[in-house]
Amino acid sequence: MRNILKRIVTHPAFLLVVGFVIITFAMVWPQAAGQALAPLPGRTDWVDLGISIAAAASTILAYWIFTHLIERKASQDLALKGAGREWGLGAALGFGAMVATISVIWLFGGYHVTGHNGASVLVGVASMAIVSGITEEILLRGVVFRLLEQWLGSIAALALSAALFGAMHLGNPNASWLAAFAIAIEAGIMLGAIYMLTRRLWAAIGLHMAWNATQGGLFGVSVSGTDVAGLLTSKSSGSPLLTGGAFGAEASLPAMIICTTLGLWILLLAYRKGSFVRASWQRFKSGADTRTA
């Protein structure tokens, strides 16, 4: 009986449920407390930034507790050695991907600069980038993708985590099934692939933060359906397939082509590195290493 119980509580499926609950709670409670202490009407960007930092810190602590005390493993996902270099690599990729996307939309007449804002808007941008980049990557890549991969292998984990990532955006303003599909294939693949390549969270966090900050904070384009005040103010015109419509450039055809291509290239690098993991029953049957040959 003890052996059966041990097998259950150490199975990736069980750990996935436990981890999802713990990390989700860690993400949500600082924002709920912030809303209780400082309701949205009249709340300043600096207060939002403080709440976002608290949510990020809470999520990081919860992930450490989950990996070290529940999984009982020495996780290197958020180890500080090399973190700056990996974060910078991810940020450069996220920035470049979004600059390329907006540039294509502009070339085809879908993006127009109408003005600019002062640097003070960057406080709100930082708040948005921190809470989305850190908390979502810990949940989606650190918990969901990683544990699905241990159980079902890399390909299934990438497909399922990307689909979940897209579906989670259906509750956003101006969302649609097309927008969710776009998020899944471009961001879901790209972020999962860079985690596979580095086997740590820093590059995925940097990519996610820069992707959102560049789209909203620099170009003034809606981020996942939410209006963001950026350094530039802008308007879009033309087909929603070109511009992404009210959801933002993430739902555009240029983003789907450019960012999905980038994600597949990173995935190829991960494959060449031998970072693909077989399903648990295949590893058990062959007795081979978890990575592909």
Band of residue 293 on the pLDDT scale cut at 50, 70, 90: very low
Band of residue 281 on the pLDDT scale cut at 50, 70, 90: confident
Mean of all residue pLDDT scores within the chain: 93
Q: Give whole-number Cα distances, 62 to 27, 79, 81, 119, 154, in Å.
A: 9, 15, 20, 33, 25
Q: Are 203 and 195 in contact (CB under 8 A)?
A: yes
- Give the 3-state secondary structure percentages of the chain, helix then strand then coil, rounded to 5: 70, 5, 25
164 has pLDDT over 80: yes
Range 149-171 average pLDDT: 96
pTM, full prediction: 0.93
* Largest CA-CA distance found in the chain, in angstroms, rounded: 68
The end-to-end CA distance of the chain, in Å, is: 37
What is the structure's pLDDT at 292?
44
Buried b (16+ CB within 10 A) or exposed e, 155-165: eebbbbbbbbb
Q: Give the rounded percent of residues in the chain with a pLDDT score beyond 70.
A: 97
Q: Which runs of consecutive H residues, i.e. helices, occur in 108-250?
A: 121-130, 136-137, 146-152, 154-168, 177-182, 189-198, 202-212, 240-243
Question: Which residue has tokens 């989305």?
Answer: 132
- Who wins on pLDDT, 14 or 287? 14
* Cβ burial, residue 144 (10 Å; 0-12/13-18/19+): buried
Among the residue ranges 22-31, 46-55, 242-251, 280-289, the one predicted with the least confidence is 280-289
What is the structure's pLDDT at 286?
65
